[in-house]
């Protein structure tokens, strides 16, 4: 079980600071020396360094072209339902062929990254705020197909699943059920903000109860998976953040213990 505080997604440069007092990170000189050493290594050599290293990227496909893996956004692919049956079938065939072409493009890029690093990477599902009206594959079908085709893992962000499911009206449970269980290499948990008409993935608060419940369902389906709690903005006292990580540990232990009892 992991807990990190990562750099803020949104930084407020306008609100005056409440105090001029501040602290400095420790080991800055050591970090600078480490950076200089790493600059002399290739990506593959960095990936080979001792220790538990996980390389993860958010995956995405553009409608007309696929760019580098690290800057893409995985679009939610919604089923077309507004056309007459005959026309709908033809439209679906057209879009299905295009989406599988996109899948193949993403697969090629993921394979290239893995070959460069000399290791398997994880692709993370993102939170999304728009859909394509005539898409034929669900997001989880697309992500699973990419993972299988590229032989890579999946970083399952449970909060992103909940945010996207709420925004687009699909079943979060169906999302989990549709992913290949053997591909899940890590799970993320985080808070989000209710903007009224939609949810925004902000990582600026505690994990809500509905996401905790979805996490329980993920554990029942995927078993014990390394879990990371993200809190990027409006960061509270460290004890509060650590309490979220402790709750994740407790939830995991209870769910897996219950599953073991049921299996006996």
Q: In this predicted model, what pLDDT tens digit does every residue of 157-213 receive, in sequence order?
A: 999 999 999 999 999 999 999 999 999 999 999 999 999 999 999 999 999 999 999
Q: What is the pLDDT of residue 232?
A: 85
Percent of the chain with pLDDT over 70: 68
Task: Give the pLDDT score at 17.
Answer: 61
Higher pLDDT, 52 or 126: 126
Query: Is residue 243 situated within a structural domain?
Result: yes
Q: Is residue 93, in this structure, part of any structural domain at all?
A: yes
Q: Decide if 184 is inside a domain.
A: yes
Q: Which domain holds residue 236?
A: 53-263
Q: Report the C-alpha gap between 242 and 234 in whole angstroms.
A: 15
At residue 96, the pLDDT reads 54
Amino acid 212: pLDDT: 98
Using the predicted structure, report yes or no on whether residue 5 has a pLDDT greater than 80.
no
pLDDT one-digit tens code per residue, 67-118:
333 222 233 222 222 222 233 333 444 455 567 788 888 898 889 888 888 8
Residue 254 has pLDDT above 50, yes or no: yes
Euclidean distance between CA atoms 89 and 134, whole angstroms: 11
Q: Output 45-53 pairs: Cβ under 8 A, ≥24 positions apart.
A: 46/117, 47/117, 47/118, 47/119, 48/118, 48/119, 53/119
Which residue did the predictor score with more confidence, 98 or 225? 225
What pLDDT shows up at residue 129?
85
Does residue 42 lie within any of the structural domains?
no
pLDDT at position 153: 94
Whether 39 is in a domain gets the answer: no
Domain annotation covers residue 29: no
- The whole-number average pLDDT for the span 222-248 is 92
Q: What angle do CA 153, 207, 132 make, to 5 degrees?
A: 55
In a domain, 176, yes or no: yes
Distance CA 197, CA 213 (A): 22
Residues above pLDDT 90, as percent of the chain: 42
In the chain, the number of structural domains is: 1
**Which residues, in sequence order, are CB contacts of 170 under 8 Å at separation 6+?**
76, 138, 164
Tens digits of residue pLDDT in 22-31: 666 667 787 7
Position 63 confidence tier, pLDDT thresholds 50, 70, 90: very low
Q: 90 lies in a domain?
A: yes
As beta bridge partners, residue 57 has 123
Taking the whole predicted model, whether its pTM rises above 0.75 is answered as no
Q: In this predicted structure, what is the pLDDT of residue 18? A: 61
CATH of the domain at 112: 3.20.20.150
């Amino acid at each position: 079980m992991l807990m990190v505080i990562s750099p803020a997604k949104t930084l407020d440069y306008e609100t005056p600071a409440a105090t001029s007092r501040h602290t400095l990170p420790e080991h800055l000189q050591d970090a600078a020396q480490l950076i200089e050493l790493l600059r002399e290594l290739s990506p593959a050599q960095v990936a080979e360094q001792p220790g538990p290293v996980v390389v993860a990227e958010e995956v995405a496909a553009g409608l007309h072209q696929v760019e580098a893996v690290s800057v893409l956004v995985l679009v939610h692919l919604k089923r077309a339902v507004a056309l007459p049956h005959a026309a709908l079938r033809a439209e679906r065939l057209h879009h299905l062929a295009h989406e599988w072409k996109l899948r193949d493009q993403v697969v090629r890029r993921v394979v290239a990254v893995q070959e460069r690093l000399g290791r398997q990477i994880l692709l993370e599902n993102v939170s999304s705020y728009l859909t394509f009206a005539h898409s034929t594959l669900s997001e989880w079908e697309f992500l699973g197909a990419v993972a299988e085709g590229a032989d890579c893992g999946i970083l399952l962000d449970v909060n992103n699943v909940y945010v996207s499911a709420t925004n687009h009206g699909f079943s979060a449970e169906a999302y989990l059920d549709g992913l290949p269980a053997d591909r899940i290499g890590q799970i993320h948990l985080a808070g989000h903000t209710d903007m009224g008409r939609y949810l925004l993935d902000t990582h600026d608060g505690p994990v809500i109860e509905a996401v905790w419940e979805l996490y329980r369902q993920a554990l029942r389906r995927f078993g014990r998976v390394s879990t990371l709690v993200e809190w990027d903005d409006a960061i509270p006292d460290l004890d509060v953040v650590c309490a979220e990580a402790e709750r994740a540990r407790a939830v995991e232990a209870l769910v897996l213990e219950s599953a073991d009892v049921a299996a006996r």
